[in-house]
Amino acid sequence: MVLEVKRKEKESPQNLVYRFTKVVRQSGMLLELRGKQFHKRSKSVLSKKRSALRGVRLKFEKKHQEKLAKPK
């Protein structure tokens, strides 16, 4: 995607930069690029399985500890 802003007659460089930044903001290009910059890879299937198994194990251990706890 190419953004082009041509200088008008008797236009100051500051005005030209202002118009260019306005066009860039309206195009949404910056948001798209920032999203790509901080893109995180999705989890692999194996890591998803491992985290699910870890969650199951932690729940089991928590229930087991609650059963072993002294009654108040």
Nearest CA to 17 out of 31, 35, 3, 29 is that of: 3
Task: Evaluate whether residue 1 is within a structural domain.
Answer: no
d(CA 46, CA 49): 5
4 within a domain of the structure (yes/no): no
CB 1 within 8 A of CB 29: yes
pLDDT of 30: 87
CA distance 23 to 3: 8
Structural domain includes residue 3: no
Where residue 34 falls (left for φ over 0; alpha for ψ -120 to 50; beta otherwise) is: alpha
- Mean per-residue pLDDT, 14-18: 94
Share of the chain above pLDDT 70, in %: 97
pLDDT of residue 29: 87
Establish if 7 belongs to a structural domain: no
Of 66 and 57, which is predicted with more confidence? 57
- The whole domain housing 43 covers 13-68
Structurally, the chain folds into a number of domains equal to 1
**What was the pLDDT predicted at 72?**
65
3-state secondary structure of 62: helix
Q: Answer whether residue 22 is part of any domain.
A: yes
pLDDT tens-digit series, residues 26-59: 998 888 888 888 888 899 999 999 999 999 999 9
